[in-house]
Amino acid sequence: MKNYILPFAATLILAVLAFPSCSLIDGDDKPLGGEPSPMGEVNTSYGITALPNGVTDADAVVTARNGEVSTITYSATITNPAVLEMISAMPDVTVSGNRASVSRDYRITTKGFQSVYEEGNLTIMDYDAKEGDTYSLKHNGKKLERKVSKVSKEDVYEWGFFLIKTIHVQETGRGIPGVSKIEFIGIHKWGMVGLKVYFEDGTDQTFGIISSANN
């Protein structure tokens, strides 16, 4: 199962933090607050590392900014025909040849990252979060929940050549076959630094994220 689902898991990075519009927001949907971050400025890019076979040239670029809301466009080359067909069926995804792309809106501030929908906001990561904090929404009768699972006090997370402190937010309820949960990893200075996919067979895969800007 893992060998099949890995390329699709990589497309979660393309839509990193992305989710279709939701019919009902459950919980506090207030704007995150903080000052606009350089990571939300137009042309800021996010590189993605440790991609599996069948997925190449994955990246994310801020293509527009309207006030405090930034639009990020995610793109990747998909050479696995089955995965490309799956991606083509996703809402708002554009496919040209083997190149797939999708755009989503976010509030990216000095306080954190937040998904922005017509119906409201869903926090991805609050840099002031405490372990146990939760953010959730309901979509098509299913509950998507993000919960702060860890706030490290020491520099123990390996990121490139550095050891850094990190905040970990685990998401459940997305309903991807073979995937049990997704974990967003970040910190104030560098923003989102990784995404970890947990598979139902007990294995996992971590993807690195590197921004061209920082707080």
Range of weakest confidence among 22-31, 132-141, 165-174:
22-31
* 58-116: pLDDT as tens digits: 889 999 999 889 999 988 898 878 778 877 777 788 899 999 888 989 999 999 999 88
pLDDT greater at residue 121 or residue 167 = 167
pLDDT of 129 > 80? The answer is yes
What is the rounded average pLDDT of the residues 114-125?
A: 83
Residue type, 196: K
pLDDT at 16 over 50: no
pLDDT score for 27: 53
pLDDT bracket for residue 1 (50, 70, 90):
very low
Identify which of 116-125, 146-155, 192-201 has the greatest average pLDDT: 146-155
pLDDT of residue 167: 98
Q: What is the mean pLDDT of residues 167-184?
A: 88
- Give me the sign of the Cα torsion angle 175, 132, 197, 75: positive
Cβ atoms of residues 108 and 41 within 8 Å: no
pLDDT at position 115 is 85
Distance CA 95, CA 183 (A): 27
One-letter amino acid for residue 181 of the chain:
K
Query: Structure pTM?
Result: 0.86
Comparing 2 with 101, the larger pLDDT belongs to 101
pLDDT value of position 28: 56
In whole angstroms, give the CA distance from residue 99 to residue 84: 9
pLDDT band at 18 (very low <50, low <70, confident <90, very high): very low
